[in-house]
Every structure is written in C-alpha cells, then in structure tokens.
C-alpha cells in the first residue's frame, strides 16, 4: 500500500476521535519517564501532523495497528504504535528515536519516502 494513502487514512481516522478518547496501553508515568515528556506533548503530537513523517499500517494477530514516526530533526524523533477501536484510540507504546536509530531507519524504513527532513 502507498504510504501517502496510509497517512491520509490515519489523519481521517484521527479527525473522528477527540483527546478524551485516548487510552494508554502502558502506565502513563512510565511512558512519560522513558520519553522525558508530558502527556500533553503526546496528545499534541498525535493531533498535529506537522512532524509526522511516515505512517506504517501493520497487521498483527488479525488486528490493524498504525506505527507513526514523528521526526523533529536529524537527531530526534519519536515513534507511536496505536490501534483504533470503535469508541477509543489505544496507544500501545511510545518510544524515542535517537540519532543512530534515525540513520538506520532512513536507510531501511524510510527509503521510499522523502527521508529525514
């Protein structure tokens, strides 16, 4: 599937939900500590698509989930894995992307896109 189509599909689905319909799969304090960030920053990222670089639709265990890669600079980024339900969005995990990971992803995962900005 075309990645721009997946990105458009993700943005369309996000417009259906509000910030109150989000559920975290892991402990929120743990996610905030691991990413050195606050809950408001996670929600702001999800509903603002400015830094959204790549959206990958994944099929696992007969369910569809989205892997989102937000790239802030050549050295910083963040990845979200989430799933849409009928009434909510479940954020499965969030993890930071560092310099080495971004270089590796740019060679493998982002090779069909514009790459790093």
55-86 per-position pLDDT tens digit: 888 888 888 999 999 988 888 889 999 999 98
37: three-class secondary structure by DSSP: coil
Residue 49 per-residue DSSP state: -
Domains and CATH numbers, the chain: 3-108 (3.30.2310)
What's the average model confidence in pLDDT over 10-20? 87
Tokens of 7: 């990105």
What values do phi and psi take at 15, rounded to 5? Answer: -70, -20
Q: Which of these, 40, 38, 31, 117, lies nearest to 81 by C-alpha position?
A: 31
> What is the average pLDDT score of the chain?
84
Q: How long is the chain?
A: 117
């Amino acid at each position: 599937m075309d990645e721009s189509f997946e990105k458009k599909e993700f943005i369309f689905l996000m417009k259906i939900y509000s910030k109150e319909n989000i559920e975290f799969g892991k402990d929120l304090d743990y996610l905030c500590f691991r990413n050195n960030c606050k809950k408001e920053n996670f929600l702001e990222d999800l509903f603002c698509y400015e830094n959204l670089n790549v959206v990958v639709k994944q099929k696992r265990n007969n369910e569809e989930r989205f892997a989102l890669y937000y790239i802030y600079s050549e050295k910083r980024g963040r990845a979200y894995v989430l799933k849409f339900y009928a009434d909510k969005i479940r954020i499965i995990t969030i993890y930071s992307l560092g310099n080495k990971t971004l270089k590796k992803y740019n060679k493998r995962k982002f090779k069909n896109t514009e790459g790093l900005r």
